[in-house]
Structure 1
Amino acid sequence: MTQAGAFGQRLGKFLHLKDAPPSLITRSLRGVELAVTETRDDNPVPGLSGSFTAEDAFVVSLKLREFPDCELWENGKCVMKADVPAGATYLYDLKRDPRYVIDKPFHSLFFYLPRSALDGLTEQSRKPRVGELACELGVGHDDAIVRHIGSSLQAGLRRPDETNQLFIDHMMLALTAHVAQAYGGFRPGTEPTRGGLAPWQARRACEKLESDLGGKLSLQQIAAEFGLSVSHFSRAFRVSTGLPPHQWLLQQRVKAAKQLMTVRDLPLSEIAMSAGFANQSHFTRVFSAMVGVSPGVWRREAQGISEGET
């Protein structure tokens, strides 16, 4: 198992959790794996946390619960104590063996960000390599972008079967770019906005996405077919279609569901599965948000219109 794939297990041992928390994994940057995991323990066993294996990687942590008077360790030594407020973002360098004393309830999101992901970003942008990130022990950041990305991914962590891979890839790519810019000095430059995909590329990309309504394909797999970087493909696809790939896919699911409800008298649970949704509740939630009414109401209205026309 890869480092990212085992991230939940590693965090579970680090925090002395009974069960390894689930992770969402992305492979959107030239095959480099990143992960995000939610951890929580309302009644932890007091003691010093475990250690991560030293590696050239970073952990970005969004604190969802305050942790006052936190005793922080680095390289095997107690360095300082600091209050950790809810909503703050912290960065940790895994080469420095970051640890802390667990003596209060905690709730956090952790993003695993290997150095190779940052290198892939700069190579794709033809920019200088990012140096060290601003991993200052005990220094939290009021980072609205990390909070937004974290909030968006929390639902996916709690209902992984309902989260398509394109969405995970999109959000983790955004996190990588943001961290590189905000904490690593990365400047993407002011290049003129590139155009969209060639017509044949846009047609082929849409066919690929439509053939996999369940959303198992990754952005990396689709972009690689055209020899494009993930960031370039995502940007060009949005220019061509008006939507990022994961939102375009949701529209196609809703479109497929409407066709099934109009033509065939199937149970909504079967329609949900046929249109790429994880289950009926997932279908109802997404459909209602995009269309403004529930699938049942939409079908009754559509059937009423059809009967009226005949």
Structure 2
Amino acid sequence: MAAQARQFTVDETHGILLRPGNAIQATSDRYGWSSLYASVQREVPYEAAFTAVDDHLLILHLDGPVDVHRRLGDREASRVIPPGGLFTMPGGMDFSVRLGGPLQTLHLYLRRTLIEEVAADIVPGDPAQVALVPIFGDGDRLVERLMLEIRDVLENCDPAETAYVDYLVRAIAARLVREHSTRSPPQNTAYMRARVGRGQLAKAIDYMEAHLEEPLELATIAGAAGLSPSHFARQFRTAVGVAPHQYLMQLRTERAKRLLSETTQPVVDIAFACGFANQEHLTRLFKRFCGVTPAAYRKARRG
């Protein structure tokens, strides 16, 4: 890839995938990619501290939910991260993490020079001054879809897809600069959610993600945020852009998509695992959001 001539190797990463007990399923070693390093693995629970590396780490949770504790300097935070949640660590940062359970993950490392190259094209000022903001458990559907495309290339073992991956990784870099950096527009949703990440809305979102399989009422979700239902509904719509119940249905549909893609569970079991009343309820809403039935989606994903 053009952003860097030398191959990106595992020796330049934090080495998380090489920890004892982790089952490595696919890596980019065979492809000679230079702008990114990618791997898919099954991680076992652990607790460890990591020294900073130069480049940027993105971890996509492929299943879960799972408890994660993170420490950055003197700041500590814990969160239940659902499938589709992101854990990102900008280059140059030491950090500690405790993973509370087994987890299927996709790791991407992006070259710092790639981020600067993309930033120079899309934001004003010195691109070297653009800093990515750590993400701890929040989802970004566009980044998730792009990362899953890279995973598919890894698992299909097709070196001819290198040019396609180059487009994907640049799209991820652009999204991170636009939505998850110090140059992100203050009015966009991702930035607003980051500002309230330790506040009431984040508590409500965490609660929804951790209890998707349960029947959830507005009053219960608002109670998790310590707000009245009416106040919570207004604040949520302002910050996130949709009503709480719409966001909840989106979360349930996204979990259903992941289970349909990643497991062989019957559709009826997936419906209950995602909090739908029955299989018909899942099918109706899934078709509304995705344009196809769950069965058709699963068939298309598996070729």
Which structure has the greater CA radius of gyration?
A: 1
- TM-score with structure 1 setting the length: 0.48
- TM-score with structure 2 setting the length: 0.49
